A and B are shown apart, each in its own frame.
Chain A
């Protein structure tokens, strides 16, 4: 995988549902994987930075896992709320330089 890919592109869930989405990234020369939350008309906001294979991070109802060997990360949201509606971006950083490669994002809409 040369690029960072996210799936699904968009997701509609009901309030209270749990959901998850995927980020795939190049596993060779991996250095770090970032998740960001981007609400409309605001700046993207950092959720997690993960570097080690098997890392798991949690912030409230949101958690993420990392598999650097196979090149994927999952983001989980437990008991989705309308305020969770946003675009969730992941970005991968390689070890050779300082540029970050972003996926196209997963747009989550939580219906009350």
Chain B
């Protein structure tokens, strides 16, 4: 079945460590996105990529890094520079054309302990 797979679903990280969240899609979508959700807030855009080997910062990119070496994959690294990394992270993709529906993964919960 086509879709977006995020892993891991739950992750605990010690303060000061980097961690990478995986996002894979088999929908042949050009554009991919990473969002963060905190309690009581909407989805905030961290990074997005419209095409392989290209990506742009979203509203809250500080402390995060991404890569887009393959069309199917858009991993997000939460670095030790991210001050408040504990959150729910959603990966998404769409065909990249204006107005196209975004498809989401099931999300990853990151807790810093």
Contact = CB atoms under 8 A, between A and B. Distances in A.
B107 A102 contact: no
B63 interface: no
B98 interface: yes
A43 B105 contact: yes
Interface stretch (B14-22, B39-47, B70-78): B39-47
Contacts of A89: 42-43
B35 A31 contact: no
A31 to B, nearest CB: 5
Interface in B22-78: 31, 33, 35, 40-45, 48, 50, 56, 58
- Which A-B residue pairs are the 5 nearest by beta carbons? A32-B99, A104-B42, A102-B43, A43-B104, A46-B101
Interface of B: 4, 31, 33, 35, 40-45, 48, 50, 56, 58, 90, 96, 98-107
